[in-house]
A and B are shown apart, each in its own frame.
Chain A
Amino acid sequence: MAVCKVKKVNIFTHLELKDKIIEELQKAGCVQIIDITSKLKIPGLLGFNEINNTESDSALAEVKYCVDYLSNFQSKSKKSDKSVSTLNNVYDYKKLSSLFFQHDYKKIYEKCVGLDGDLKKLKTRENHLKNTQEQLEEWRELDVKIEDLEETKNTKTIAGTLPSKDFISCLEEIKKIGKEIEIKKISEDKKQCKIIIISISEYYSFIKKILSKYSIDYFKAPLEFSGTPNDILGDISEELKNIEEKRKIIFDASKKLHRENLWLYAAFDYLSILKSKKDIEKYIKQTKKVIIIEGWVLEKDLNELENTLYKKFKELEIVFSDPKETEDIPVALKNNKFVEPFESVTELYGIPKYTEFDPTPLFAPFYFIFFGICLSDAGYGLVIAVLSYLALKKFKFEGMVKKLFGLFFLGGLSTFIMGAIMGSWMGDTLNYLPKNLLFIKTFLINTISLLDPIKDPMPLLLISLSLGVIQIYTGFIIKFIANVKENKIKTGLMDQGSWLLLISGLLLFIFANSVGSLAGLKIITKYIIWAGLLSVVITQGRSNKNIIIKAAGGVLSLYDIIGYLSDILSYSRLFALGLSTAVLAVVVNNFVMLFKDIPFIGFILAALVFIIGHFFNMLISGMGAFIHSTRLQYVEYFTKFYEGGGTSFKPFKVITKYIKVQIR
């Protein structure tokens, strides 16, 4: 349980064994190798110079390029695509390299580059054509060949668009320049008119000056084409069609290439493994003959590591040592099956330091109950539990995702239980059962259900607040025990003991007041409260030196009581969220009943509204349940005893992206 014990391991071995040892460590996957190149400054030890791994690096880059390019052409339908099943195959670690070397990735790479380049060229050409097309579309009426717009020895041609209202004044101004000007209007609408002006070269600059005054928009003739705009437009759409065909050919070729070269995925992972081995070499120190590897290993893996290494190699020495407290010792958590999913919540907050204890088992039961109360609908709980169970079975998640789904599964179970207790099955759906099935309702509501928060909300509110009291007490007690374990009994008594006394006194006082027959207890609680107050005032200012400030600090710390009370009030959210799920579910059912009365399709619509409405409510309320249960742990509970901020244990191991590798 809790935080795993970690040992430091030093491996000394001959230089020649370096590669084999690294491979063995990676296969074992239980050592986190530390970078000691900067730490060990012993004369005679050399760091590795830049290791020459450009070749495998470039291979990795090229294979990655191929995989990235080709994976765009994964065929979508599952039947024809074998890649899914192929990738699910487990590969043997030893056979990976031979798999890589029996294929020629360079050839594929060149093919991919070629195809990719062609695609890009097509795209550029297509864009260009489309732009031209757009421009020419506006000059469709122009009955002149584009090449005729080019300048000749003596004449120049200008084509452009003018605002219609300026056309006449512009025309007159241009005509004043001279006689050798021909102006032709191509088309006109309310806003713009398109004109062509042909003149002798000498006039060109004058005309331009006038035109720019009227803010002309020049038509830049696409001189690469020939013919009238209408002809050219035909050519362009022809070429665009061609491009589409060419692209389809490339697509098909790429798809085929993808189908035939699924080994590329394995190659990519193989090369990444190689690279990770090369990278880890940088962490290792060496002399002329000897290398030193330093790392962390979990105590439980210790023997196995020793055995495998000694069995395979003779020329090496393994030294285990206890970690020093000043070091940044990595942390791995180990919990039983029920608690393990809750580690995801701990990890979100920050895992404990090596010297701390693991808070996961301490909050797991609370979290379980809280989630259930927040969602509190048996139907939703069942759906969530079943869905996350199926997801866990079907997709073999790992790490954080697996834990999260485990958490949802447990949360679903808890929701089912709490929902059954509160008599909520998809809201009040049971009320709408046909008459011959009503016995189910009678059984579920009258026999199993204990509360009905919609009719009488107070019990659930009180339960929520009591859970808060219990959790905050637990937090104090945990901190107290932690202090005792660290031989700080005095601190524990003063910091936690005094507060426990005061808060217990206050709660007992409230309890005694609300139950009339306990007059005797009332007097006792008064003494407890005074004792609590006194002990808080005396102890809480003790860090100050001056006696007056000490007293003042003690009195001021009484202000914290407001904080603790608001902590407890914060648990009322459990009630509010639980009730909101229930009420929203009832609202959904009300809507369903409205739809039911529509003739013919009413039943189908009602079913749709039922499914969508409840699914939406489940999603939103489920998110709320997850977030608020988490928050109660973080803000109200952890602040009492937990710090966090450790670094997690990341062993050096085989990490693959696409394929699964069988190591032994």
Chain B
Amino acid sequence: MITQGIVIAFLGSATAIGLACSGSGIGVGIAGAAGIGVLTEEPEKFGLVLFLQAFPGTQGIYGLLVGFWVLMKTGILGGSPIPITLDQGMQIFFSCIPVGIVGFFSGWYQGKTAAAAIGLAARNPEGIGKAIVMVTMVETYAVFSLLASLLLFNGINL
């Protein structure tokens, strides 16, 4: 049965997936452009560059994760949605906000950091360990937002 709550839950799932994946898209794009710059000079660094480019991709996965979890728990994915009240729907929507918004911005900015790390990889491959830590610092907040979304969602009685 389609209730108003289900509609709002849809909005939540869409927000989580849409925003977080956009952020990852931007970030991976920025890092990829820098990576191609390095590859024109040193094609043998492909593996390392790809590894670094993948970093801003995680936000999208976190968003997808939360979005799918919402779809699963509300039964939308299985084709038989459970009746959800408007209040529950709003709760679901709000629990999706952290991973969506943080995913968007942290993915974007992690892309910039990853691009800088790729630049470093071209000049000084030994410093790569430290550069990865810098890139991971951005990731921290994406993980925290995922944590927040998961905990918020878990607090909803469905």
Give residues in A with beta carbon < 8 Å to B. 347-350, 457, 461, 570, 572-573, 575-577, 579-580, 583-584, 586-587, 590, 594, 620, 623-624, 627-628, 630-631, 634-635
Contact = CB atoms under 8 A, between A and B. Distances in A.
Interface stretch (B26-34, B57-65, B84-92): B57-65
B3 interface: no
Contacts of A580: 61-62, 65, 146, 150
Nearest to B79: A594
Given A580-B65, A584-B65, A620-B61, A634 B72 contact: no
Contacts of B78: 590
Interface string B41-64: 000000000010010011001100
B135 to A, nearest CB: 9
A573 B147 contact: yes
B77 interface: yes
B150 A576 contact: yes
B128 interface: yes
A333 to B, nearest CB: 15
Contacts of B132: 348, 627, 630-631
B68 interface: yes
A554 to B, nearest CB: 29
A350 B68 CA distance: 40
B143 A623 contact: no
A572 B144 contact: yes
A628 B136 contact: yes
Nearest to A588: B68
Nearest to B78: A590
Given A584-B61, A584-B65, A457 B140 contact: no
The interface residues of chain A, by DSSP majority, are classed as: helix
Given A573-B143, A627-B136, 13 more contacts: A348-B128, A570-B140, A573-B144, A577-B143, A580-B146, A580-B150, A586-B72, A590-B77, A630-B132, A631-B136, A631-B137, A631-B140, A635-B133
B69 interface: yes
6 contacts: A348-B128, A570-B140, A576-B143, A577-B143, A583-B68, A628-B136
Identify the interface centre among B77, B147, B151: most chain A CB within 10 Å of its CB.
B147
Contacts of A630: 132-133, 136
A188 to B, nearest CB: 43
Contacts of B151: 457, 461
Contact of A575 (B51, B137, B139, B147): B147
The range of chain B's interface size is 20 to 34
A349 B134 CA distance: 12
Contacts of A584: 61, 65, 68
Nearest to B132: A627
A587 B147 contact: no
Nearest to A575: B147
B65 A583 contact: yes
A579 B68 contact: no
A590 B136 contact: no
A467 to B, nearest CB: 15
Interface in B116-158: 128-130, 132-133, 136-137, 139-140, 143-144, 146-147, 150-151, 154
A624 B139 CA distance: 10
Given A570-B140, A590-B72, A349 B58 contact: no
Which 4 pairs of residues, A with B, have the shortest CB-CB distance? A348-B129, A576-B147, A631-B136, A587-B68
Contacts of A594: 77
A631 B135 CA distance: 10
A583 B146 contact: no
A590 B73 CA distance: 12
Contacts of B140: 570, 573, 631
Contacts of A347: 129
B69 A624 contact: no
B124 to A, nearest CB: 13
A349 B129 contact: yes
Contacts of B65: 580, 583-584, 587
Nearest to A594: B77
Nearest to A347: B129
Nearest to B151: A457
Contacts of B129: 347-350, 634
Identify the interface centre among B65, B132, B137, B151: most chain A CB within 10 Å of its CB.
B65
Given A348-B129, A573-B143, A579-B150, A635 B62 contact: no
